[in-house]
Structure 1
Amino acid sequence: MSPTLVKTRFLIISDTHGYEAMDEKRSFRQEVPPSQVRLHCGDLTKNGIPEDYEKAINMLGSIDAELKLVIAGNHDLSLDRDFYEKNGGDMNEHTRAISIWDGPLAEEAGVTLLNEGLHSFTLKNGAVLTVYASPYTPVFGDSAFQYPTGEDRFNPSERVASEATSTTVQPILDFPGVDIVMTHGPPKYVLDETSNGSNAGCPHLRRAIQHARPRLHCFGHVRPQWGLRKVVWDQKGEEETDDGYTMLPRVFVRRNQMMRKRTAYQDLSSASEEDEHGAVTVMVNAAIMNENGEPANAPWLLDLDLPTA
């Protein structure tokens, strides 16, 4: 018997890099529409200064949402203990950064910083959601929460490609074990093309998503690729190949509409769509900053169906 579904509203952002949503000339500005779940997919700051986390928490606290979830990104340097210690960072700053997210400011703002792994939540509308979160991205330059491209931290060890090494602590669960995946970086070939034409996404993450088939996978990191695309999974496809899915065209949203509504809105619930859970995953690159470091992009506001308890 299929679970009862309830329409639930998500506000999704990423890569704010210290932007406090105060510029009236930008789509993302104060008084964004309310939502039930607000997701931030990392890069809250430019370089991880503790005071900037406080600014980010204040900004996120001003957004009207029942559940506010955050992950770190590669620019949030002081949150990555191993990186910070290895690169000679002041460990007192790391301790302070962690204490800010564990302290009263974040608690009063209702903001939760998620560690890598699985997390479950129940909303007031009865919706139950299982979230897989990870701040990690393939190594590029010298920044936080990165891993060598030959390491797979997303799949169970028995599914790791022969040329890769498993470093998995908590794999992404196969379908139907997870509803939402929020990572800082994209999967390979999905909204991941950089300004120089290369694809910065992770192939191991793509393989895990192909098996998980979540309702939503949201990320940022590759700022030129802000957008939304649906992936339709081929139930008859060979799961261990790069085939087995069809990527639909990028959703078009008018800039003047985003400016007026302060968001890019899409109703993806059963009220307007007929996508069966497990057949389609909504892929969202929610980077607010563009490639020039300007807060040119709008938050995504999505209506999705979630199962009830």
Structure 2
Amino acid sequence: MSEPPADPFEPTPLHSLIFHHPLKLFLYHAYHFLTSLRSDPPRADIPVRVVCISDTHNNIPEDVPHGDILVHAGDMTNGGSIAEIQAQVDWLSSLPHKEIIVISGNHDTYLDPRTRPSLPEEERTGSVDWKRVHYLQHRRLSLTFTAPQPESERARLTAPRQRRVTVYGAPQIPACGPMSVHAFQYERGKDAWSETVPEDTDILITHTPAKYHRDLALPYGMGCEHLAAEVKRVKPALHIFGHVHWGAGQEVVWWDRCHEAFVDGMQITSWFGGLFNPRLWWGIVQVTYRGLRELIWDRVWGGHSPHTRLVNAAQMYGNTGRLGNRIQVVDI
């Protein structure tokens, strides 16, 4: 097994993956190629547009798209002082979206009482005025949206159709820095997630990714395996996160046996990428076979497995210190 990169938040070079993890590299791309061929998940009768951002680190993105809900998935700031957080809240609350939701990230130091003492006294004295922003810290929020009514329905005084959307937000992440400075951390490998997310959650907001999805999955993944299990248990329509800047983008996870085979294969850490490990070869066979079966079931028979759209909404372009990633917009 090769040594992990000096900075786990930087992508492993392709030549290193080819040399050290060739089968895992093939497994990863085979899975994503097959799932990319599947049709888009069906939309609800009353769609809700969610605009997703994260990891702005004191910056203000330009041209934020319109939507019903704006979500910021943490790391609003760099230093985490009250003044830095308030500046981001002031900007967010000025946007025209009907609902604005925020969770904390590990850089938002003031918001975690355990890391607050690391700030100079003048940077942690006072409180944040959240204005019209919903701040979720292990908290559930229920929102109601009304479908637009045609003129003919309004003339008949027909009751408007409504849709309720349940949102849950939690900030904790696997440790990536000093516990006294980085907010809401837990020791990597510890289970901080099981049975914590309400089962009726439609939109889950976390700062960390789930393992092997939009988290620099190759070769080892920077996300949390226990969060991945919790997302699979709850199966929200949408999971929004950030933290791993190079993972920005979105994908749909279908909770089927193809995905199970993918995760089983990604967990293998044998010498030389498992080149001589029959389990990893079998994983490639299983992903290919099951992926093709699911693709035929989808495209020919119109079948759909339970699914979740995963969105890494990081705005910071890698670790360059500047914004550059596209703002993600999802209709659920």
What is the CA-CA distance between 1:231 and the residue it aligns to?
A: 0.3
Q: 2:177 aligns with which of 134, 141, 156?
A: 141
Partner residue of 2:315? Answer: 288
What is the CA-CA distance between 1:65 and the residue it aligns to?
A: 0.6
Unaligned runs of at least 5 residues, structure 1: 22-28, 157-170, 247-273, 305-309
Partner residue of 2:197? Answer: 172
Partner residue of 1:33? Answer: 65
How big is the alpha-carbon RMSD for the aligned residues of Structure 1 and Structure 2? 3.0
Identity of aligned residues (%): 32
- Say yes or no: does 1:218 pair with 2:240: yes
What is the CA-CA distance between 1:90 and the residue it aligns to?
A: 4.5
CA distance in 2, matches of 1:116, 1:213: 18
Question: For 1:246-305, what per-residue CA distance to the aligned partner results, in whole angstroms no more than 9, with x for missing partners?
Answer: 8xxxxxxxxxxxxxxxxxxxxxxxxxxx886x711101000000121210012111111x
What is the aligned residue count? 239
Q: 2:215 aligns with which of 192, 212, 222?
A: 192
CA distance in 2, matches of 1:6, 1:294: 36
Q: Which has the higher strand share?
A: 1
Question: For 1:152-199, what per-residue CA distance to the aligned partner results, in whole angstroms no more than 9, with x for missing partners?
Answer: 12113xxxxxxxxxxxxxx1134xx211110001001111018x9542
Quick check: 1:81–1:94 contact (8 Å CA) kept in 2?
no
TM-score, length basis structure 2: 0.65
Quick check: 2:136–2:168 contact (8 Å CA) kept in 1?
no
Over 3 Å counting, the alpha-carbon distance change for 1:237 and 1:10 in structure 2 is closer
- SS of alignment partner, residue 68 of structure 2: strand
Unaligned runs of at least 5 residues, structure 2: 1-43, 148-161, 266-285, 288-301
Partner residue of 1:260? Answer: none
CA distance in 2, matches of 1:178, 1:150: 24
Over 3 Å counting, the alpha-carbon distance change for 1:148 and 1:39 in structure 2 is same
Matches of residues 105-144 of structure 1 in structure 2 within 5 Å?
Answer: 106-107=130-131, 110-125=132-147, 126-142=162-178, 143-144=182-183
Over 3 Å counting, the alpha-carbon distance change for 1:55 and 1:236 in structure 2 is closer
CA distance in 1, matches of 2:259, 2:316: 36
CA distance in 2, matches of 1:185, 1:236: 24
What is the CA-CA distance between 1:54 and the residue it aligns to?
A: 2.1
Matches of residues 88-103 of structure 1 in structure 2 within 5 Å?
Answer: 89-90=119-120, 93-94=123-124, 96=126, 99-100=127-128, 103=129
Over 3 Å counting, the alpha-carbon distance change for 1:48 and 1:275 in structure 2 is farther
Quick check: 1:235–1:279 contact (8 Å CA) kept in 2?
no
CA distance in 1, matches of 2:92, 2:146: 20
- SS of alignment partner, residue 56 of structure 1: helix
Structure number, greater radius of gyration: 2
Quick check: 1:20–1:55 contact (8 Å CA) kept in 2?
no
Bigger mean CA deviation after superposition, 204-213 or 52-61: 52-61
